[in-house]
Amino acid sequence: MKFGVLTGGGDCPGLNAAVRGVVLRAARSGHETVGFLDGWKGLRDDLVRPLAPADVAGILSRGGTVLGSSRTNPFAKEADATRVLETLARHRVDALVAIGGDDTLSAARELHRRGGHVVGVPKTMDNDVAGTDWTFGFHSATAVAVDALERLRDTAGSHHRAIVLEVMGRHAGWVALATGLAGGADATLVPEEPYDEPTLLARVRRAVDARGYALVVASEGIDLGPRRGTTGGKDEFGHELLREREVGAELARRIQEQTGVESRSAQIGHVQRGGAPDLFDRILATRLGAQAVDLALAGRFGEVAVLRGETVRGIPLDEAVGTSKVVTPDWLDLLHTFEA
Ligand code: F6P
């Protein structure tokens, strides 16, 4: 068989480990692999490179993706969809492995509906893909946010300030939740809960009274209601660019105005997406890349490799796309137990 592989959507640590997982698992069974560059754009525009085992040597621990990525939607225009199918036929690809989040996997499902032989691998630092316990990229990216919070603790303590750390995560609060829990934030705001300003201000005041400073973690996806400021642009899949709303900066302004505590904010943005994958992400990405090859070899096209408990397995793409996995009430209850 000839495999094709692409990485689409926002990059995250572990993509290279997954690509390597695909290439080496296929090679072990005597199959070759080619890589399509820059996500679905590579299939639309016929951007392809060979991927022999030697080409993936040493990439396991590297951040980003050697294949490049983009937020290209190949099914936005019918002409593009035709070009994708033509590219697959031109290169005689028997099985395509699409590594990505909800947008990339939705495109994979559409390709499958049109007769394409495709399997998926979920990834995203947002951890919001349904049907899998974890997505790779999340642990490594959130560790960066926790490190940032610990650094902010030092400077907040020195200056007796409130500092708001704005983290990514889109409309799911997993990154904020894990950062707040693992970093010991005094208040953590996630999109799954309505914004409650009195509770936030009370937590800030309690923390400042108790030890002179306060740390707040805010997910970029929270809704602060009508306010001055911007609405972000949109990407090709119609998603608002949430960081342009600068909710962290707005919260710091509100905290300072209402409590009198000098306040600052930090938006770490794409810093979270770079860097080497950690142990968990390397192993998960490797397992899922290999599992995707096994699914294709078994003829289980239209499925996506996922983690359930300690096992990797395939489930229909239909079960993984279209709905986001969001933070559940039991997690929120735990989170609030440890706030100020
Ligand atoms: O989906 C991953 C993610 O990092 C989100 O957390 C964030 O909202 C978005 O991508 C940013 O997208 P871009 O890299 O296109 O600015």
Give dist(CA 37, CA 43) in Å, integer.
Answer: 8
Ligand 1 centroid to residue 277 C-alpha, Å: 17
Specify whether the backbone of 64 is left (phi greater than 0), alpha (psi in -120 to 50) or beta. Answer: left
Ligand 1 pocket mutation pick from 168, 231, 246 by most atoms within 8 angstroms of CB: 168
**59-62 long-range contacts, Cβ below 8 Å, gap at least 24?**
59/16, 59/17, 59/19, 59/20, 60/16, 60/17, 60/20, 60/282, 60/286, 61/16, 61/17, 61/276, 61/277, 61/282, 62/16, 62/276
Element (H, E) at 312: strand 311-316
Is 126 among the residues known to form the active site?
A: yes
- Catalytic residue, candidates 102, 126, 186, 278: 126
Is the pLDDT score of 228 beyond 60?
Answer: no
- Topology of domain 2-136+277-320, per CATH? Rossmann fold (3.40.50)
Residue of 17, 33, 161 whose CA lies nearest to 96: 33
164 forms bridges with which residues in the sheet?
A: 216, 265
Q: How far apart are CA 86 and CA 92, in angstroms?
A: 10
Letter for the amino acid at 192? E
End-to-end alpha-carbon separation of the chain, Å? 57
Q: Is 172 in the pocket of ligand 1 (CB under 6 A)?
A: no
The owner of tokens 């947008």 is: 103
Q: Which amino acid is at 169?
A: G
Q: DSSP letters of 221-233?
A: T----S-SS----
Quote the pTM value. 0.96
Nearest CA to ligand 1 atom 12: 10
Cα(221) to ligand 1 centroid in Å equals 11
Specify the ligand 1 atom closest to the Cα of 235: 15
Q: What are the residue ranges spanned by the domains of the chain?
A: 2-136+277-320, 142-273
Q: What would the pLDDT profile of 269-301 be if each residue is shown by its tens digit?
A: 999 999 999 999 999 999 999 999 999 999 999
pLDDT per position as a tens digit, 88-129: 999 999 999 999 999 999 999 999 999 999 999 999 999 999
Q: What are the pLDDT digits (tens) for 161-193? A: 999 999 999 999 999 999 999 999 999 999 999
- Report the C-alpha gap between 287 and 276 in whole angstroms: 17
Return the CATH number of 142-273, one of 3.40.1170.10, 3.30.1360.20, 3.40.50.460, 3.40.1160.10. 3.40.50.460
pLDDT digits (tens, 9 = 90+) for 243-257: 889 999 999 999 999
Residue range 33-53: average pLDDT? 98
The Cα 103–Cα 8 span in angstroms is 8
Q: Do domains 2-136+277-320 and 142-273 have the same CATH topology?
A: yes
Tell me, using a 6 A CB cutoff, whether residue 242 lines ligand 1.
Answer: yes
How far apart are the C-alpha atoms of 169 and 180, rounded to whole Å? 13
